[in-house]
A and B are shown apart, each in its own frame.
Chain A
Amino acid sequence: AQTVTQSQPEMSVQEAETVTLSCTYDTSESDYYLFWYKQPPSRQMILVIRQEAYKQQNATENRFSVNFQKAAKSFSLKISDSQLGDAAMYFCAYRSANQGAQKLVFGQGTRLTINP
């Protein structure tokens, strides 16, 4: 079974600074997808960024980028120019690329605080 581990329960950063959230995962599969989701106090899970395992190039979405290290099974999220609206719980998630397997396996989450 696949597992996802986020070893940082809480992180804080000064506004406009850069912060990196860590995520490691365990799987025996070679083809899969990785995601970072943001869950603000409103509770609605919002997709931040996604990475296909077969792509070597790291995904980037505006201020958000990932460092995907497939051999090390590591998938960290870098947030540049942090903004107050980035404050939320962040979850790393894994999904198999198998046709029928659409479930997401989530980590425990990292609470990110932005200090003004």
Chain B
Amino acid sequence: ETGVTQSPTHLIKTRGQQVTLRCSSQSGHNTVSWYQQALGQGPQFIFQYYREEENGRGNFPPRFSGLQFPNYSSELNVNALELDDSALYLCASRLPGLAGVNEQFFGPGTRLTVL
């Protein structure tokens, strides 16, 4: 157990819809990252939030957006869903401080299927 939870576990949407995925981090973990893991692939970095502001983004379009809240929870929002958005979405949180080898704690992920 990493202390990071995600909801829902599974989700089915249709193309063009919007979806919100949620992550709850450990207390004090003020940095959260989101990853997309397509079937049979390694996770791909979507973006990172630090103190409620985005401070790093991977190669994902603007229809992927996020929010981070003061209570160490966060959201990933995806608009205008496409079939290729079907994947496992992982969030990972870490403690603040030096950019050392601070471990990132991963949640169990949300499996999104777009039909």
Contact = CB atoms under 8 A, between A and B. Distances in A.
Interface of A: 4, 6, 33, 37, 42-47, 50, 52, 91, 93, 97-109
B99 A102 contact: yes
Nearest to A99: B99
Contacts, number: 66
B106 A44 contact: yes
Interface in B99-115: 99, 101, 103-104, 106-109, 111
B58 interface: yes
Contacts of A52: 101
A105 B108 contact: no
Interface of B: 2, 31, 33, 35, 40-45, 48, 55-56, 58, 88, 90, 92, 94, 99, 101, 103-104, 106-109, 111
Contacts of B40: 108-109
24 contacts: A6-B42, A43-B88, A44-B2, A44-B107, A45-B106, A47-B104, A50-B101, A50-B103, A91-B42, A93-B42, A99-B99, A100-B55, A100-B99, A101-B99, A102-B33, A102-B48, A102-B56, A102-B104, A103-B45, A103-B48, A104-B104, A105-B45, A107-B42, A109-B40
A43 B90 CA distance: 9
A103 B56 contact: yes
Contacts of B92: 45, 104
A2 to B, nearest CB: 11
B96 to A, nearest CB: 11
A106 B43 contact: yes
Contacts of A105: 45
B101 A100 contact: no
A109 B109 contact: no
A45 B111 CA distance: 14
Nearest to A105: B45
A98 B2 CA distance: 25
A114 to B, nearest CB: 20
Candidate in B41, B99, B103 with the most chain A CB atoms within 10 angstroms: B99
Given A44-B2, A44-B106, A97-B99, A109 B56 contact: no
Contacts of A50: 101, 103
